Structure 1
Amino acid sequence: MVVWSPDNGAVVLAELGYSVDSLEYVVTVGFGTPAVPQTVIIDSGSDFAWIQCKPCGSDECYPQKDPLNISYNEGNGCTGEKLCGFALSYADGSNSTGVYSSDKLTLAPGVAVEGFRFGCGHGQGGWDDMSAGLIGLENSPESLVSQASPSYGGAFSYCLPPTGSSAGFLALGRPSDTSGFAFTPMHPSDHYAVFYKVTLTGISVAGRPLDVPPSAFPHGDYGMILDSGTVITALPAAPYAALRAAFRRAMAAYPPAAPIHPVDTCYNLTGYANVTVPGLALTFLGGATVELDNPSGILVEGCLAFRGFRLRPGHHGNGVIGNVNQRAFEVLYDPEQLRVGFRARAC
């Protein structure tokens, strides 16, 4: 289902990617003329769009749900002295290489981005889902958001549904009514400027704030990256240790299960008709507090959807807020006004 709303811009159905064996979120859009439907991951932590294209042998491309029967206007995305090839690698080791291309991207019947620039992937590695590729939403010239901005502006939002049987959306454009959102500043920096970053100042478990100072979270020129293309939230070691301890105390009635990398706080909930998961809230700079959807925004496959990371002494880094914690919220990215908004129970 794809709908068009003149108030909000282009609105496309978003789903949890069970249909492509993934815990990422996907949309189905049309590439080319005539439009060929392709199911792609939506990723606010990536700045580029690519899909698998012919020619692509079994040792070069992974199996995907949609037919691999597409050939595009390869090279049409090149300008001036810009090279026509592309090569992408991601933090998890996956990668894609191919030819820089352009063609029509259809978001809804009669609603399209003409001359959309994207990668035509002829060699992929490290992918274990069945999506056709990825659409980046970052703040860069090559993202869908930037390429569609002449029609819809630079703002966008999405709601990631809490279950595989519920529906969410990806919307290009700013909602006409933002009164239901809790806003926090979006802060740019000289480091990784294309990312959308916010400042986390505190976490509460079962209504009790952790005894962790705001300075323990990434801040200043860094911060927490909002990333729809990452499943698990990553916190520095100290606040994560406090969160894990508080959560384990609150879940002491349930038997633990073996860790599943990269998470280490898991439970065997088989046979429990009712499971009481402690509430968990994130507080951001400016006081915006987000009560995570319970349990879908807290647990994933029986595990706490957080992990810790360590930095070398004297070094700084960004944390990440993954897609599990964002479930059921409309998350509004508004680079023009340098703010991010959260609206609860939006899908």
Structure 2
Amino acid sequence: MPFHSFFTFFFFIFFLYPFSIQSPAHAISFVSPIQKDNATLFFSFTVYLKTPLQPTRLHLDVGASFSWVDCDAGYNSTTYQHIPCASLLCDSLGHNLPCSVCFNAPSPSCANDSCSLFPENSVTRKIALSPGLTDSLALPTSDGSTQGPPILLPGYIFSCSPRSLLEGLANNVTGLAAFGRSNYSLPAQVSNTFSVPRCFALCLPGSPSDPGVALIGSVGPYYFSPQKTDLSKSLVYTPLVLNPVGSTVVTYAGEPSDEYYINMTSINVNGKPIQINSSLLAVDENGSGGTKISTAVPYTVLESSIYNALTKAFVNESSALNLTVTDTVKPFGVCYSAADITVTRVGPGVPTVDFVMHSDNVFWRVFGSNSMVRITRDAGGDVWCLGFVDGGVNPRTSVVIGGHQMVDNLLQFDLDNSRLGFTSSVLLKGTTCSNFNFASTR
């Protein structure tokens, strides 16, 4: 469904149904579209916020601790409230948070004696000091196959931010939706309010015109057209790993990271392990090393020695397919003429890349649709480039799995069981992440 048609439907359905502020007697989960921005290659998540409810598109950040919204653009709501400095809620949000002092007219972004937070843009690594707020938020419900009536979450906790914090994000977003491990991320607040599982699934779209989907509060089923395939049955699991040291700009001693780390133990190219220093794949006591999932980078970023080993093995394996490297296109280091590559149901026909987890038979397989990036050139013909980036020597995290490698892969973040579920490419199942049925209602 084209996004403009989908958005009209999404808007209509919100005002067709009455809202409930009570938890239903039956088990529920929540659903919302994920949109890809073609300019930044980042992803956004749509919620309804304020009173009266307004559609609000937020940058999707899978590792952020709490959400924030630009309040400089005229934040108008009849139900917002500041968080008092002396409150238990303020104490629970952080250690010795500052108390705001404002000399302008009272507004969402200006209040005295209110709890201030440090909203952070994880792309630019910029922060601000802004008041914390609570306000009404609503999301549609779902049974895993269709979109149902929306339910109101009163008292949703987030932070204001200045407009300048939006720099580097998609032009059409007005803030950030946090999906990290924190108790104040969006999925955590949904789980705590409605007593649903601390679990969410993301299926990122490959096309800017057709949305993917986020399913919150459900371990499955997750049905996708055209065959109504339940992708939850294709999930393979690996444990989540806790990084003991936070990585935000403002950190507190003893507080772990809210990002999602996994125990990747090796990388294979065409089923053959590449030679890398295995110690780089473990998180040390200082929080360095390891592998994390991130929507703050468009492509997977590798520590230099890992990157060099991967590209060398990939080029060697590609030569058996009669592929010869051509001139590179930044930021990529390996490219091939598009005319030489056959396209299959899972993208360009190139060697597979496997992220091997805690066991040799548990691996996330990256096919050509997720390993390669097509670059259109005015002269010399189009090229396919290996979509991995050199992250330099001694980065904080050795492997950062980025957005392109997650497109059309269903990922389930199951915090109740401290595990990540992944399907590898759903193209193998004859579907895409844009095939969730938003057009039907229960």
Aligned counterparts of 2:208 and 2:122: Cα–Cα separation in 1: 26
- Alignment-mate amino acid for residue 385 of structure 2: C
The farther-off stretch of 136-145 and 228-237 is 228-237
Is the radius of gyration larger for structure 1 or structure 2?
2
Selected match of 1:137 from 171, 179, 184: 179
Q: What are structure 1's unaligned runs of at least 5 residues?
A: 57-68
How far 1:306 moved relative to its partner?
1.8
Provide Cα deviations, 1:148-194, integer angstroms capped at 9, x if missing partner: 11222321111112333443211112324554211111122422321
* Partner residue, 2:240: 186
Q: What SS does the corresponding residue of 2:282 show, helix, strand or coil?
A: coil
Aligned counterparts of 1:12 and 1:211: Cα–Cα separation in 2: 41
Aligned counterparts of 1:24 and 1:143: Cα–Cα separation in 2: 19
Change (3 A) 1:34 1:120: same
How far 1:103 moved relative to its partner?
1.0
Provide Cα deviations, 1:231-253, integer angstroms capped at 9, x if missing partner: 22122222211101122344563
The reply on whether 1:209 has 2:214 as its aligned counterpart is: no
Selected match of 2:388 from 288, 306, 320: 306
Aligned counterparts of 2:307 and 2:422: Cα–Cα separation in 1: 23
Provide Cα deviations, 1:111-132, integer angstroms capped at 9, x if missing partner: 2321111222233143252122
Q: What SS does the corresponding residue of 2:48 show, helix, strand or coil?
A: strand
Selected match of 2:132 from 73, 94, 100: 100
- 1:139-288 to 2 correspondence within 5 Å? 139-150=181-192, 151=194, 152-176=196-220, 178-192=232-246, 193=256, 194-212=258-276, 214-219=278-283, 223-251=290-318, 253=323, 256-261=326-331, 263-267=332-336, 269=338, 274=343, 275-287=348-360, 288=362
Aligned counterparts of 2:370 and 2:153: Cα–Cα separation in 1: 34
Change (3 A) 1:163 1:214: farther
Change (3 A) 1:206 1:258: same
How far 1:138 moved relative to its partner?
0.5
Aligned counterparts of 2:355 and 2:180: Cα–Cα separation in 1: 23
The number of aligned residues is: 329
- 1:38-57 to 2 correspondence within 5 Å? 38-53=56-71, 55-56=72-73
Q: What SS does the corresponding residue of 1:336 show, helix, strand or coil?
A: coil
Q: Greater helix share, 1 or 2?
A: 2
Answer whether contact 1:7 1:175 (CA < 8 A) is retained.
Answer: no
Provide Cα deviations, 1:272-308, integer angstroms capped at 9, x if missing partner: 7755332222111134211124324543654322223
- Alignment-mate amino acid for residue 278 of structure 1: P
Q: What are structure 2's unaligned runs of at least 5 residues?
A: 1-5, 15-23, 91-98, 100-114, 141-148, 222-231, 247-255, 376-383, 427-431, 434-442
Answer whether contact 1:159 1:331 (CA < 8 A) is retained.
Answer: yes
Aligned counterparts of 2:29 and 2:371: Cα–Cα separation in 1: 27
Percent of pairs identical after alignment? 20
Aligned counterparts of 1:198 and 1:241: Cα–Cα separation in 2: 22
Answer whether contact 2:261 2:293 (CA < 8 A) is retained.
Answer: yes
How far 1:80 moved relative to its partner?
2.1
* Partner residue, 2:49: 31
- Alignment-mate amino acid for residue 327 of structure 1: V
Answer whether contact 1:75 1:101 (CA < 8 A) is retained.
Answer: yes
The reply on whether 1:122 has 2:162 as its aligned counterpart is: yes
- Alignment-mate amino acid for residue 93 of structure 1: T
Q: What SS does the corresponding residue of 2:157 show, helix, strand or coil?
A: strand
- Alignment-mate amino acid for residue 265 of structure 1: V
Aligned counterparts of 2:27 and 2:326: Cα–Cα separation in 1: 48
How far 1:224 moved relative to its partner?
1.0
Aligned counterparts of 1:93 and 1:163: Cα–Cα separation in 2: 24
Aligned counterparts of 1:113 and 1:266: Cα–Cα separation in 2: 48
Selected match of 1:16 from 36, 45, 50: 36
Aligned counterparts of 1:185 and 1:50: Cα–Cα separation in 2: 29
The farther-off stretch of 93-102 and 227-236 is 93-102
Q: Greater strand share, 1 or 2?
A: 1
Aligned counterparts of 1:132 and 1:236: Cα–Cα separation in 2: 32
Aligned counterparts of 1:7 and 1:161: Cα–Cα separation in 2: 27
Aligned counterparts of 1:298 and 1:78: Cα–Cα separation in 2: 50
Aligned counterparts of 2:119 and 2:327: Cα–Cα separation in 1: 36
Provide Cα deviations, 1:64-86, integer angstroms capped at 9, x if missing partner: xxxxx532466523452643333
Selected match of 1:330 from 397, 410, 416: 410
- 1:72-87 to 2 correspondence within 5 Å? 72=77, 75-80=81-86, 82=90, 83=99, 84-87=115-118
